[in-house]
Amino acid sequence: MVQFVHPSRDDITLTGVLEALSDPMRLRIVRALVAQQGCLSCTEAAPCPDMAKSTLSNHFRILRQAGLVMTSKKGVEHRNVIRLDDIEARFPGLLKMILGFYDAENQG
């Protein structure tokens, strides 16, 4: 039985968040999760056939540990939700700003 550990809101750190978002694939995943405003499975959030699924799994683990993503199991797949409220409470405006720049950089 896989049991995911997520940090509590107050344990989310600035460098943890920056580190998590500094990888292009993870930033793309977060972008997709925010755009969706709901649950996405891992493969839905990162449609990337050229990447090993173990690597993808590792990226989600990093996002969880940074406190950005909440993962729960539902059936055969994992539901990933962006922890918008917690991130906003901890670092108000940060995620929105970064994603704004991300969009501008990617044919905004």
Interface residue list for a copy of itself (CB under 8 A): 13-15, 18-19, 21-24, 27, 91, 93-94, 97-98, 101-102, 105
| DSSP letter (8 states) at residue 51 | S
Nearer to DNA, 55 or 97 (CB): 55
DSSP states of 61-92 = HHHHHTTSEEEEEETTEEEEEE-HHHHHHHST
Kindly state the helix (H) or strand (E) to which residue 77 belongs, with its residue range.
strand 77-82
* Residue 44 binding: pick among a copy of itself, DNA, none (C-beta 5-8 Å cut-off by kind): DNA
Minimum Å gap between C-beta 36 and DNA is 13
Minimum Å gap between C-beta 93 and DNA is 26
In this structure, are residues 30 and 69 in contact, taking their beta carbons and an 8 Å threshold?
A: yes
CA–CA gap between residue 44 and residue 91 (Å, rounded): 27
Minimum Å gap between C-beta 28 and DNA is 12
* Residue 101 binding: pick among DNA, a copy of itself, none (C-beta 5-8 Å cut-off by kind): a copy of itself
Nearer to DNA, 78 or 90 (CB): 78
